[in-house]
């Protein structure tokens, strides 16, 4: 078990050679869907909705994009130049997918949803890996969206994840995405009226290949902190919030794994009002819980 206290660590000495980061991201599911028996105690048949040949769907988010009180599903499709929106019918079925363009060769690897302009309509943020940008799709509330607005990240940064949080308590959602091959996370603060400010970069460690970002208050000071999982470093990069959207420089939180963190989640597992961190290690094929 690792101490909850933040641990300083000189990560510049971590000289582990970068692996085939992009190949890992682009890994296409080798198996097609087979019948799923897990967590299906009622025996209800699971339904499949095609996202298109070779679209290789991965991250999924859900929300009500039509304001009809029915949940819809958004799917990133790195094998296509669009993301898919499946509109819910309320009966467990979904309409044929609506394709939302994200740009030629965009290779969208992640989606996040939220009302990014405080217009009371859900919007979508997307990480377009191969064109090194994040895209924002403002929703019209009827299942359609304005044309994508993009914010560039550094060339060959290959952002592979995106999330939205209000990092500075101004009631406007901000956007965070890892610049994976450049070893930092990019933060875009909302400045209102559908616009976001210039990118702020927080270094994640030498050749760390930052890949997953989660946000929560780890030390119970009522200020959000940022946790970054790295796909090429055996530590999490933690950023303690200072308030007003300012974060201290990263602290390495050592992991006892292979350094190939593929996912991070936080939740209070033991009801002690302190968040635990759950890490998935794709190199070692295990998950770890950090108390």
Residue 172 interacts with Ca ion (CB under 5 A)? Answer: yes
Residue 170 interacts with Ca ion (CB under 5 A)? Answer: yes
In the window 200-219, what residues touch Ca ion (CB under 5 A)? 217, 219
The rounded distance, in Å, linking the Cα atoms of 263 and 230 is 9
Q: Which stretch binds Ca ion (CB under 5 A): 49-57, 87-95, 168-176, 193-201?
A: 168-176
The rounded distance, in Å, linking the Cα atoms of 90 and 85 is 15
Whichever of 23 and 272 has its CB closer to Ca ion, that residue is 272
Closest distance to Ca ion from the beta carbon of 219 (Å): 5
Residue 142 interacts with Ca ion (CB under 5 A)? Answer: no
Residue 268 interacts with Ca ion (CB under 5 A)? Answer: yes
Long-range contacts of the stretch 136-144 (C-beta < 8 A, 24+)? 136/175, 136/196, 137/100, 138/194, 139/65, 141/65, 141/66, 141/67, 142/66, 142/67, 143/65, 143/66, 143/72, 143/85, 143/87, 143/98, 144/98
Is the separation of the CB atoms in 148 and 106 below 8 Å?
A: no
Token reading at 260: 């190939």
Bridge partners (DSSP) listed for residue 99: 84
Q: Which stretch binds Ca ion (CB under 5 A): 12-20, 57-65, 90-98, 265-273?
A: 265-273
The rounded distance, in Å, linking the Cα atoms of 54 and 51 is 9
Is the separation of the CB atoms in 72 and 64 below 8 Å?
A: yes
Whichever of 245 and 283 has its CB closer to Ca ion, that residue is 245
Task: Please tell me the count of residues contacting Ca ion according to CB under 5 A.
Answer: 21
Closest distance to Ca ion from the beta carbon of 96 (Å): 24
Q: Which stretch binds Ca ion (CB under 5 A): 34-42, 68-76, 121-129, 281-289?
A: 121-129
**Dihedrals φ, ψ of 139, to 5°?**
-85, 150
Whichever of 119 and 197 has its CB closer to Ca ion, that residue is 119
Among 123, 132, 183, 281, which residue interacts with Ca ion (rule: CB under 5 A)?
Answer: 123
- Per-residue binding string, Ca ion, 24-43, x by CB under 5 A, is --------------------
Is the separation of the CB atoms in 136 and 123 below 8 Å?
A: yes
Q: Which stretch binds Ca ion (CB under 5 A): 71-79, 140-148, 224-232, 253-261?
A: 224-232
Q: Which stretch binds Ca ion (CB under 5 A): 93-101, 105-113, 222-230, 254-262?
A: 222-230
Closest-CA residue to 227 (of 286, 161, 130, 155): 161
Is the separation of the CB atoms in 83 and 77 below 8 Å?
A: yes
Whichever of 58 and 264 has its CB closer to Ca ion, that residue is 264
Half-sphere exposure of 41 (CA within 13 A, CB side): 0
Residue 223 interacts with Ca ion (CB under 5 A)? Answer: yes
Please report, as ranges, the residues that interact with Ca ion according to CB under 5 A: 115, 117, 119, 121, 123, 166, 168, 170, 172, 174, 217, 219, 221, 223, 225, 241, 268, 270, 272, 274, 276
């Amino acid at each position: 078990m690792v101490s909850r206290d933040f641990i300083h660590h000189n990560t510049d000495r971590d000289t582990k050679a970068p692996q085939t980061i992009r190949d890992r991201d682009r890994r296409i599911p080798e198996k097609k869907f087979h019948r799923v028996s897990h967590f299906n105690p009622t025996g209800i048949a699971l339904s499949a909705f095609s996202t298109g040949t070779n679209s290789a769907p991965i991250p999924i988010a859900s929300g009500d994009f039509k304001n009809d009180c029915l949940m819809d599903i958004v799917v990133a499709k790195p094998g296509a130049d669009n993301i898919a929106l499946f509109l819910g019918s309320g009966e467990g079925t979904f309409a044929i997918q609506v394709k939302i363009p994200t740009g030629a060769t965009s290779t969208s690897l992640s989606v996040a949803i939220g009302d990014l302009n405080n217009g009371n309509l859900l919007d979508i943020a997307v990480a377009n890996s191969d064109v090194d940008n994040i895209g924002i799709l403002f929703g019209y509330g009827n299942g359609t969206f304005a044309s994508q607005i993009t914010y560039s990240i550094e060339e060959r940064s290959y952002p592979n994840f995106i999330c939205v949080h209000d990092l500075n308590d101004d009631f406007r959602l901000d956007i965070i995405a890892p610049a994976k091959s450049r070893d930092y996370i990019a933060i875009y603060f909302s400045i209102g009226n559908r616009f976001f400010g210039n990118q702020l970069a927080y270094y994640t460690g030498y050749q760390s290949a930052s890949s997953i970002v989660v946000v929560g208050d780890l030390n119970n000071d009522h200020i959000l902190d940022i946790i970054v999982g790295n796909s090429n470093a055996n530590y999490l990069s933690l950023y303690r919030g200072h308030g007003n959207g300012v974060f201290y420089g990263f602290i390495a939180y050592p992991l006892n794994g292979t350094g190939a963190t593929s996912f991070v989640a936080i939740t209070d597992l033991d009801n002690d009002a302190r968040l635990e961190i759950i890490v998935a290690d794709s190199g070692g094929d295990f998950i770890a819980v950090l108390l």
